[in-house]
Structure formats: C-alpha cells, structure tokens
Amino acid sequence: MNVKIFADGADKAGMLEMNKNPLISGFTTNPTLMRKAGITDYKVFALDIIKEIPDKPLSFEVFADEVQEMYEQALEINDWGENVYVKIPVTNTKGQFLGTLISELNYQKVKVNVTAITAIGQVVDVIGALKGKTPGYISIFAGRIADTGVDPLPIMKSAVKWIKGTNIELIWASPREVFNVYQAEEIGCDIITCTNDIIKKLPLRGKDLTEYSLDTVKMFYNDANKAGYKI
C-alpha cells in the first residue's frame, strides 16, 4: 500500500500481535485508550512497549495542560527512545494554540505528533510552527469530523497540498471504516491510524462481492444453528 498503516491502541498483546503484521509501520496511543485498557502506570507501560517495539515509530502523548509542564513532559518522553514521537495537542483545554511550544520542541529536535486537529486553519498554523528540520506528524481527526456530518475528505485533500515539500507527514486519524484507508491512499496521505479491528479487515481488499454475499449468508445460517434457534 502507498499509505503507511499505524496501529492505534493501548493493549500490549494486541500491539505485539500487530507488530508481527508486515502491513504495520508504526503505533499510536493516547491517555484515553490507555485508561480504557486499564493502564495504571503511564511511564512503565510506555517503556515496556518501547522495549518490545524499538524499530518502529511510537507516539506517546503529554497529558499536562500548562505549557511549561507540557514542555517538561515532552522532553522526558522524547528521551525514552529514538523511535518515539511526542504527541502534543493542537491546543490546551483553554483553547490556547500551542504553536510556541510545538516550535520550540521542533527546534530542539524533538519529533512531535501534533494531534486533535479538526480544521484546515489549524493545519496551516501547525505547519508554521514546524519550520525546523526535525520530522513531525500532523494528525487530523477525520473520523471525528465525519461524526459531525461534515465530509473530511476535502479537508484531508487540502492538508496534503499544504504539507507538500515540508518535513511533515500527514496522519488520517480516527478512521471509522476500512474504506477510509483506501481514501487516504488515493489522496496521497502519508499515514492512517487504525484499530486492530480495521486492520484485520484489510485482507478483504479486492474480494469478490458475490462471494462475500455468500459468506455472509453462511455466517447467518451457521450462527443460527449454533445458537439452536427455533421458530
């Protein structure tokens, strides 16, 4: 595929399973996913994953809200491994754009993944902050945009044009279906993050639709029999 697939999650067993998949080029996570997975010690979990997966990009997010504390957390996370990208939200909880922080980290050679972006104006602002030579990611939450009834595709296409020729790679984040992978590939997006459920459906690409229909009928039939349903 021409788009890189990053597995998105915080379940160690699932991450290690995906690491064996040749389609997977990197990994992302966030505090919400880690909390849902029952992670209680952020640093212990992160260092464990870095030890297990030392050769692919791994994104770990700061969780402070004050700029100075974010900066300090970012520097520590950066020191955890050469393959680590530090996720910085595009704003803090007060809605303040974190461009100065993003720029300072970029110039200090901290690889950042600017996350939670939903508007092309934010993309432009972040590109302005990432003027150093250090590689970085811009994560647009296309799935969340779609959740509001807005088509994210025009935004993603515009972002592809804006980052062309920069040191930045564009991430299509929070996809809602497998088809988003093919959309991301078609428009020239660099990376798409996917849950394990989506990744496991990728081998269906090109499957004959009539055959897929028959598989579906068989599934319904077999599950009804296994359940012992009677009318």
Are 13 and 196 contacting, i.e. CB atoms less than 8 angstroms apart?
A: no
- The DSSP letter of residue 123 is H
With respect to residue 20, please indicate whether it lies within any of the assigned structural domains: yes
Helices (H), 20-171: 31-36, 42-52, 67-78, 99-107, 120-129, 142-147, 153-163
Q: What is the pLDDT of residues 53-76, one digit of tens each?
A: 999 999 999 999 999 999 999 999
Tokens 């020191």 found at? 79
Number of domains in the chain: 1
Q: What is the pLDDT of residues 15-35, one digit of tens each?
A: 999 999 999 999 999 999 999
At residue 1, the pLDDT reads 85
At residue 63, the pLDDT reads 96
Q: What is the pLDDT of residues 95-127, one digit of tens each?
A: 999 999 999 999 999 999 999 999 999 999 999
Residue 9 host element (H or E):
none
With respect to residue 218, please indicate whether it lies within any of the assigned structural domains: no
Residue 70: which domain range?
Answer: 4-205
Are 27 and 1 contacting, i.e. CB atoms less than 8 angstroms apart?
A: no
pTM value is 0.95
With respect to residue 76, please indicate whether it lies within any of the assigned structural domains: yes
Q: What is the rounded CA–CA span in Å between residue 18 and residue 164?
A: 29
CATH number assigned to the domain comprising residue 189: 3.20.20.70
Q: What is the pLDDT of residues 146-194, one digit of tens each?
A: 999 999 999 999 999 999 999 999 999 999 999 999 999 999 999 999 9
